[in-house]
Amino acid sequence: MEHELTFQNIKEQVELPELLHYYGYTLKKGENLGKGKWHVFEGDDTLVVFKGRGGDWMYFNSQDDRDKGSVIDWMKCRLNSGRISGIAQPPDRTVWQAVNDHFRTYLNLPEAERPRLDLPPIAETAPGEKFHSIYTKNCRPLENTAYLESRGITKSTLARPQFAGRILNQFHTVQRPGLPAKTFVNTAFPAYHEGRVVGLELKGEGFKGQAPESQFSRSLWLSKLPEDGPATHLLVSESALDALSYAQLHPNDKALYASTAGTLTQNKIFELKRLLTEASIPTIRAAFDNDTQGHHFDTRLLAGFAGAENPMKVVREHEQLLTVEVTTSNVASAQALSDKLKIYNAAATVHYYQESGAKEARTISPTLRDELIHSVKSAQNTFQFHVPMNRDALGAFNQAASRCLAFTHKIEIVKSQGKDWNQDVKKDQLQQVMQRELGAVDEHQYGFGQLHWDNPRFEGDGKMPPLRSTEPRNQRLPR
């Protein structure tokens, strides 16, 4: 018998726990999230199932705050994700038609094939009750800001809409024999992958760590997207603390902020590219630390975002040398990159002789050779650049590459004046205190150095120089 279905019919006739059981989910035993108020099912993901107001079955994905709602929403989300075998959208059906089709098939199952579950009674959930991710169930909204304020982050920065719900307090209780229980309050940064919370980065006074079983190899800490339109750019840093510091120094309510939690894997680069594409963000701004590792991350990011016109990859990572390979049929772009690197090599050579007191010789010193960027043509239209693993050389290569090569998105590279952006925040606050107490002062007299905004931003516009038809002039590039 064909069922004439409306969404209300579906809600009345389909028991969500039994539907989940039919598609391979199992009831989790011994779960203590809220006995008698909801059930927890595990399958492709972990779902909290409960009765909402009015008695309708509702659910919440503990790892994806976008995946929640009624039994209708559950089916629609699975159609869109394609994660469950047997749930798909035919090309000739709309999403809602396909939702209806799948429920009709389910309700037409012979009685013997219909799943039946004997579940304990479940109480209706009171309005406003919260269901937390398995990683954040010991967390609360951010109230204790002592740690962040000790690092120079102000309450006004934390109150911005972009950071609402993206920074939490985690409560950790330690019970030692013979001593009273002690509860520690940490600052927690949820890590996201494709919209799901898959981990938790923890910070406290003298402590840093992560929630057990957190997945950081492919996840990012993220702020919220702007509420009134697309983001102008995605700012990515090595830590959430640095992202907050940058936001405090350079306020922008149209930016999306991200942190890689101290690493930059290929999977994280894929996730950054997915975010830019799905949210229609035109620009990525790299704000990694101003040290060797931070500049190394810039190189990896450039390679990951290189355009199809000039594929770029890191082929060797040695403690003292990084080898980057660029393939392009546009000799003009390779020559432009070479010319900029020659300028760096010339300046490095002058600096070497000034510092060492040595005189220029006919043969180059091995010490100087190790400080210069070398490149060769390794194959047809393929060039390898051997970059010393130090801040200055990596920075020069990244700056030149971002300006001469093409990328899938516009790339900007910004650097703090100190080691990182949080260090700049502290220096900025010290300057404000000194100016308030002493009036106008000579910064260099008091050892402050330059202000953080003195470090110019350099960027690539995703365009390449015009193609030249001439043959390559000198295939051995800067020396």
Task: Please tell me the least confidently modeled range out of 27-36, 54-63, 294-303.
Answer: 27-36
Q: What is the pLDDT of residue 429?
A: 86
Q: 141 φ, ψ to 5°?
A: -55, 150
Over 70: is that where the pLDDT of 30 sits?
no
Domain positions in the chain are 7-113, 139-308+389-423+454-460, 424-453
> 37 with 25: CB under 8 angstroms?
no
Q: What is the pLDDT of residue 450?
A: 40
Q: For residue 454, what pLDDT band results from cuts at 50, 70 and 90?
A: very low
pLDDT in tens, 112-166: 888 888 777 665 544 434 444 667 778 889 999 999 999 999 999 999 999 999 9
Give the DSSP letter of residue 40. E
Q: What is the mean pLDDT of the chain?
A: 84
Q: What is the pLDDT of residue 296?
A: 97
Q: Name the token pair of 157.
A: 């920065």
Q: 0.85 cut: is pTM over it?
A: no
Q: What is the pLDDT of residue 259?
A: 97
Q: Name the token pair of 380.
A: 């047809």
Start-end of H helices in 322-417: 331-356, 366-369, 391-404
Q: Does domain 139-308+389-423+454-460 match CATH 3.40.1360.10?
A: yes
> 326 with 312: CB under 8 angstroms?
yes
pLDDT in tens, 340-375: 999 999 999 999 998 888 877 777 888 899 999 999
Q: For residue 443, what pLDDT band results from cuts at 50, 70 and 90?
A: very low
Over 60: is that where the pLDDT of 471 sits?
no
Q: What is the pLDDT of residue 358?
A: 80
Closest-CA residue to 216 (of 207, 204, 206, 208): 208
pLDDT in tens, 329-339: 898 999 999 99
Q: Name which residue leads in pLDDT, 220 or 204.
A: 220
Q: What is the pLDDT of residue 33?
A: 44
Closest-CA residue to 38 (of 159, 126, 170): 126
> 386 with 314: CB under 8 angstroms?
no
pLDDT in tens, 77-96: 998 887 788 899 999 999 98
Over 60: is that where the pLDDT of 455 sits?
no
Over 90: is that where the pLDDT of 382 sits?
yes
Strand partners, 405: none
Give the DSSP letter of residue 182. E
> 314 with 323: CB under 8 angstroms?
yes
